Structures are given as C-alpha cells and as structure tokens.
Amino acid sequence: MPSPEHDEIVALIRASADDPTAVVGFDEARARLDSLGAIFAVPDGVEITPAELAGVRVERFRPSGAVGPGSIQYHHGGSYIGGSLDSHRPLTARLAAATGREVVAVDYRLAPEHPFPAGLDDARAVHRHLVDVEGIDPAQLVVAGDSAGGGLTAALTLALRDDGSAPAGAVLLSPWLDLTLTNTSITELADDDPMLTADALARAAEAYAGGRLKEPLVSPVFGDLAGLPPMLVLVGTAEILLDDSRTFAERATAAGSDVDLDVHEGLIHVWPFVDGIPESAAALRRIADWIDATVGA
C-alpha cells in the first residue's frame, strides 16, 4: 500500500488541480512542468556538465567516487510537448547518485514545433555519438525514460535493434506506449489518476504524430517486440497508462524478449520523480540493482 507521504502528495495534487474541463495550452503546460524542477533539490556529490552531442543539447551527470561501467541515456517525460532538462534535473541527478553511473540527459525537440520523428532522431543521434565518437560499448549503455520519455526510450530500443546497435537494456518509468489511447485503463482508472487525463493526452498525441499514432516508433505496443534487450518497466495502479505497460510486457514476453514488469499498488504516474517519499527511493534502488545485474556492478 502507498505510504502516508505518497498519499499526502496525491492530496496536494488533487487540491491544486484545474477544472478537468479546462484546456491548458502547451506553453502553460511546459512552464508548469519546468517549475516542478525547482521544487526538489539536486543531491550533493553529482557533477552536472552541460554539453552538446551531435547538435543535441544534453546534461551529463557524474556521481562522485567510483563510477560503474557504461552510461545511462535518459529521456524526460512531458507528453512529447513539454518537459526539459530543467524539469527533470533533480530526478536525473538522483538516478546518477543511486546507480553510481554517468547519466546523459537528452533535451530532445518537442511537438508541435517539432513533431515525430524529431525527438526520436535526437535520441538516436545522441546514442550514435556516445557509441561511435566516445567509444562507449552498446553492451554497457542503458537507455531510460519516464512517461513520454519512456515511450521514446522503447521506440529508440526498437530502432537500435534494427540498426544492429541495441543497448544493454532499457528502463521505462510509467511509459506512454500506446498513443491511440485505446487501452481499457484509460477510462477505467480515470478517477484514480490525479495527474493525467485522456483529453490532454489526445491533444498531445495529435500534436506529436497526427495520423501516425499506430506506427511502432510512435506507439511501441504495435511493433515487432522480438529480439529486444532486457527491459525493466515500473508502473502504478493509480495511473491511466497502466495497461500500456501490461500490454507491452505481455506482447514482448510472448515474442521472446525479457521484460521485468513491476506493478505497484496505488502508486501514481512517475512516482520516482517525487523526492522525499519512500517509494521513490525504493524505485531508484530497484533500478540500480537491475542495472548492476544487467550490465555489471
């Protein structure tokens, strides 16, 4: 069951929520998400270095002390129309600290100014730079992301598999994997989810991919899921995207791929984002242990 700290966060979210019929513009949605990055602290002992790789802006997070092998390439959430290095800096830094590995956070282009496949192209370009220019072994490079960034991570994994440069593994946090919004949890869990609405996601999906929503690199649940590297998927039962993870894990497993699906009772969308609740710390420990087992300590 969720902790009291988790439930306090849910109560705060519900108390500050807009009228569900109100339409929030993309600019306002971006500003709100970026403002969340200022709420949580970046942990001590993590060096943050801005950089540009293959023309894409990134931030590199390197924890102090011993650093494990390889790197983590991270993609922020935000429904493909929002999110940034600013919004996710505390989470990305905590991920670096928890895993003891360098994390490269990708500031990929956003819709509607830059619709699909611009964001995916940026993620592929950064991966190519890390492998071809910096010489990182793909077998020691993990790709990760949350929400839309989790969907982008899954799409990137499909593309890299087809390119013959699949990463060591992928970590998906509450991923958005079906932009057609046809899974049953979209409606069945609408009252349980304090963060996401089908209407807002539908507007973002249209801005991102228009009539291409069933293409596998937009909605990975519709792809050929055979031959994927190991994947860890974390999702809560209080989020309308629950069935995205379940459907993806079922289809990937049936295709012979190795997917660890962790379903957490009562937890909200991308709860690891929220610093200070025990579930967040536990999720980061789970990710660190999984990466150690997959890549090597």
Taking Cα atoms as reference points, which of 208, 143, 151 lies closest to residue 174? 151
Instruction: Enumerate residues 6+ apart whose C-beta is below 8 A from 291.
Output: 68, 72, 99, 101, 142, 169, 171
Specify the 3-state DSSP secondary structure of 191: coil
CB environment 68-81: b (16+ within 10 A), e (fewer): bbbbbbbbbbbbbb
Instruction: Classify the C-alpha dihedral 235-238-244-248 as positive or negative.
Output: positive
Q: For residue 70, what is the DSSP state?
A: S
Rounded to a whole number of angstroms, the CA Rg of the chain reads 17
Among this protein's residues, is 52 annotated catalytic?
Answer: no
Of 263, 281, 260, 280, nearest in space to 271 by CA: 280
Q: Which of 59, 84, 219, 239 is catalytic?
A: 239
- Given 79, 84, 147, 174, the catalytic residue: 147
d(CA 281, CA 40): 14
Cα 151 to Cα 13, 111, 140, distances in angstroms: 24, 15, 21
Read off the DSSP letter of residue 77: -
Q: Give yes or no: 147 in active site.
A: yes
Name the DSSP letter for residue 174: S
Q: Is the peptide bond before 117 cis (omega within 30 degrees of 0)?
A: yes
- The set of residues, in sequence order, having a beta carbon less than 8 Å from that of 101 and lying 6+ positions away, is 63, 67, 68, 69, 70, 71, 72, 291
| Catalytic site positions | 147, 239
